[in-house]
Amino acid sequence: MITKAKGTLRHTVNGLQKRLIQLLPRHVPIAFKLALVMTLLLVLGMASLGLFISDNQNRLIRTQLHEFGNTMALQLAKLASEPILSENSLNLRMLTTNLGQDEKILGAGIYARDGELLSATGIQPVLTDSPFDAAGVISRPWFRYTADGSQERLLSFIAPATYLNVRVGSVVVTLSASQMDQAATKARDAIVYATLAMTVLASLLAYWLSRRLSLPIHHLMEATQAIDRGDFATRIEQQRNDEIGYLFEGFNNMAAGLLRKSQVEQVFSRYVSKNVADKVLANLDEIRLVDRPIEATVLFADITGFTAMSEKLQPSQVSELLNEYFSYISRACSLYGGVVDKFIGDCAMLAFGVLEDDTDHAFNAVSCAVLIQQLAAQLNEERRADGRAEVHFRIGINCGVMLAGNLGSDERMEFTVVGDAVNLASRLCSEAQPDQIIIRKQLFTMLQPRIVAQSERTIPIRGKSAPVAIYSVQDIHQKNQPQLQTNLQKLLNSRPRKKSRQAAYHV
């Protein structure tokens, strides 16, 4: 039972802790923190100062009351010593009457040596012991109830009356300690109200000051958030000659460095595949990617008759033509998870299943080839309508084991795939006719249920004892046509606006 109760208690405590954490704000502005700390320090300082002043005020009032009571008692004792000795009751009454006229004195009494009351005015204390034997002035606190039923604290001062150093009697002067308490209370209230007023003013001042102090930090936070969103052109224009100014300068230098880095990455990604660029930039300490044998598929796409076509075009027109079609090929390759290995003149080399694990890389490569041919056919219709020369591709695809990695020297290298399977893909591309996709028999056998192809012929390959049977791919299976048509539409929609016929170049 005890163990179960402890478990229940622990569960309850954990639940309360979680709820408390959830109630706490996730983000507390630094201005609020600074204002809170400064306010607490000011409140503590003002409260300590108020307590110190109040204590000194109470001590001062108490000292003044005791000094006044002692003075009055000693003065009365000095004046009453001779009348007590001569038993001059008239003179004694005059002394007590005159003293009672003071508003601060509530009562005055003159006593004989044996404690007999000789003369009195006002209120007198009830003395249960014998305080008339004391050598000096003593004070006795006591209480009485007023007419309204409240309790009043009184303080009586008892002083010996002596004549020629012989004690002849005693005098009692009674003052109101409640007046002292009321004065102390008023002084304390005044100090408290002043402390509260100063605390409020100090809190407002602390908040305003903290806002002013945290404003540069707020600007830095906004600039940092802009950098996090990718806006590397963000700069802090404020000029300061303090530590925050150095911080702003450092931030601007960092932002400029990030902008240059982003620009380098963007340019770098245009020279190599984005996936390759990401892997290289993610591991700058080890630039050379590990060479490893992999099972992948390589696609070569070559423009047929490009040499004759380029002779009829200006160099700028040749560049524009290649950039246009290579852009389409790069997007088509990306749609099927491949990477652009390189562009060799008018030939594009694509690799599938190289950087990322792709168990269907062979079919993706064939689908990409079909997409390229269908896209070229669509573009050729427009080119014929504009009176421009048509562009036809011949494509060779091969699948097999190849070596993938960064090859080259320490000064310059590139990520690529090499091996017999790559060489065979290049040879198949050279055997293809315009608008034809050539694969070897082994790849056709592996993809037969998913692609539409027909046997072409058998070709000898230099360095190989047995000839290679090749197939021509016409299309992919109907089941995968929707995805193909979707990708084709994406490529067509990504085209820039068509130029006017007057601006179009002719061959």
- What's the token pair of residue 1? 């039972």
pLDDT on residue 503: 42
Could you tell me whether strands 393-408 and 468-476 are parallel, antiparallel, or unpaired per DSSP bridges? unpaired
Looking at the chain, the whole-number percentage of residues with pLDDT higher than 70 is 83
Residue 223: HSE in the Cβ half-sphere, 13 Å Cα cutoff? 22
> Is 365 a residue whose pLDDT tops 90?
yes
Contacts 24+ apart (CB under 8 A), 180-189: 180/61, 180/62, 180/65, 180/155, 181/153, 183/61, 184/54, 184/57, 184/58, 184/61, 184/62, 187/54, 187/57, 187/58, 187/61, 188/54, 188/57, 188/58
Q: Which residue has the higher pLDDT, 233 or 280?
A: 233
Element (H, E) at 455: strand 451-459
Alpha-carbon gap, residue 110 to 82, rounded angstroms: 12
Q: 250: which residues sit within 8 A by CB, 6+ positions away?
A: none
Please report which confidence band the pLDDT of residue 290 belongs to, taking 50, 70 and 90 as the band edges. Answer: very low
Count of H-run helices and E-run strands, the chain: 12, 13
pLDDT on residue 500: 42
DSSP codes joined into one string, 76-120: HHHHHHHHHHHT-HHHHHHHHHHHHTSTTEEEEEEEETTS-EEEE
DSSP codes joined into one string, 356-425: S--TTHHHHHHHHHHHHHHHHHHHHHHHHHHTPPP--EEEEEEEEEEEEEEEE-SS-EEEEEESHHHHHH
Q: Which residue has the higher pLDDT, 505 or 486?
A: 486
Mean pLDDT on 190-216: 77
Single-letter amino acid, residue 301: A
Single-letter amino acid, residue 497: R
Dump pLDDT digits (tens) for 219-272. Answer: 777 788 888 887 878 887 777 777 777 777 787 888 887 777 776 666 555 555
Q: Are 320 and 261 in contact (CB under 8 A)?
A: no
> Is 68 a residue whose pLDDT tops 60?
yes
Q: Which fold has domain 286-494?
A: Alpha-Beta Plaits (3.30.70)
> Is 12 a residue whose pLDDT tops 60?
yes
Q: Is 27 helix (H, G, I), strand (E, B) or coil?
A: coil
Could you tell me whether strands 393-408 and 436-440 are parallel, antiparallel, or unpaired per DSSP bridges? parallel
Q: Is 340 helix (H, G, I), strand (E, B) or coil?
A: strand
Q: Which residue has the higher pLDDT, 279 or 64?
A: 64
Q: Which of 13-17, 202-206, 297-301, 374-378 has the lowest mean pLDDT?
A: 13-17
pLDDT on residue 369: 94
Q: 312: which residues sit within 8 A by CB, 6+ positions away?
A: 389, 507
Q: Are 337 and 450 in contact (CB under 8 A)?
A: no
Alpha-carbon gap, residue 451 to 138, rounded angstroms: 121
Task: Please choose, from the candidates 75, 110, 72, the residue with its C-alpha nearest in 3D space to the C-alpha of residue 91.
Answer: 110
Q: 342: which residues sit within 8 A by CB, 6+ positions away?
A: 348, 349, 414, 416
Q: Which residue has the higher pLDDT, 6 or 99?
A: 99
> Is 55 a residue whose pLDDT tops 70?
yes
Computed on alpha carbons and rounded to an integer, the radius of gyration of the chain in Å comes to 53
pLDDT on residue 288: 44
Please report which confidence band the pLDDT of residue 119 belongs to, taking 50, 70 and 90 as the band edges. Answer: very high
Mean pLDDT on 15-42: 66
Most confident of 13-22, 133-142, 205-214, 277-286: 133-142
pLDDT on residue 182: 77
Dump pLDDT digits (tens) for 147-194. Answer: 888 888 888 999 999 988 888 899 999 998 877 777 778 877 887 888
- What's the token pair of residue 123? 């209120």
> Is 279 a residue whose pLDDT tops 70?
no
Other beta carbons within 10 Å of 115: 13
| Ramachandran area for residue 87 (φ above 0: left; ψ -120 to 50: alpha; else beta) | left
pLDDT on residue 220: 75
> Is 135 a residue whose pLDDT tops 90?
no
Average pLDDT, the chain: 81
Task: Give the CATH architecture of domain 85-179.
Answer: 2-Layer Sandwich (3.30)
Dump pLDDT digits (tens) for 412-434. Answer: 667 788 888 999 999 999 989 99
CA dist list (Å): 438 to 221, 346, 419, 499: 58, 18, 19, 34
Please report which confidence band the pLDDT of residue 376 belongs to, taking 50, 70 and 90 as the band edges. Answer: very high
* In the block, residue with structure tokens 């598929």: 297
Mean pLDDT on 458-476: 85
> Taking CA 473 as the corner, what is the angle to CA 355 and CA 382, rounded to the nearest 5 degrees?
90
φ and ψ at residue 357, rounded to 5 degrees: -65, 125
* In the block, residue with structure tokens 């491949």: 338
Please report which confidence band the pLDDT of residue 371 belongs to, taking 50, 70 and 90 as the band edges. Answer: very high
Mean pLDDT on 19-27: 57
Alpha-carbon gap, residue 239 to 227, rounded angstroms: 20
Please report which confidence band the pLDDT of residue 350 belongs to, taking 50, 70 and 90 as the band edges. Answer: very high
The domain segmentation of the chain, as residue ranges, is 85-179, 230-268, 286-494
Q: How far, in whole angstroms, is CA 115 from its chain's centroid?
A: 83
Q: Which of 196-205, 221-230, 276-285 has the lowest mean pLDDT?
A: 276-285
Rounded (10°) angle between helices 30-86 and 89-100: 160
Enter the pTM of the model. 0.51
> Taking CA 128 as the corner, what is the angle to CA 125 and CA 131, rounded to the nearest 5 degrees?
80
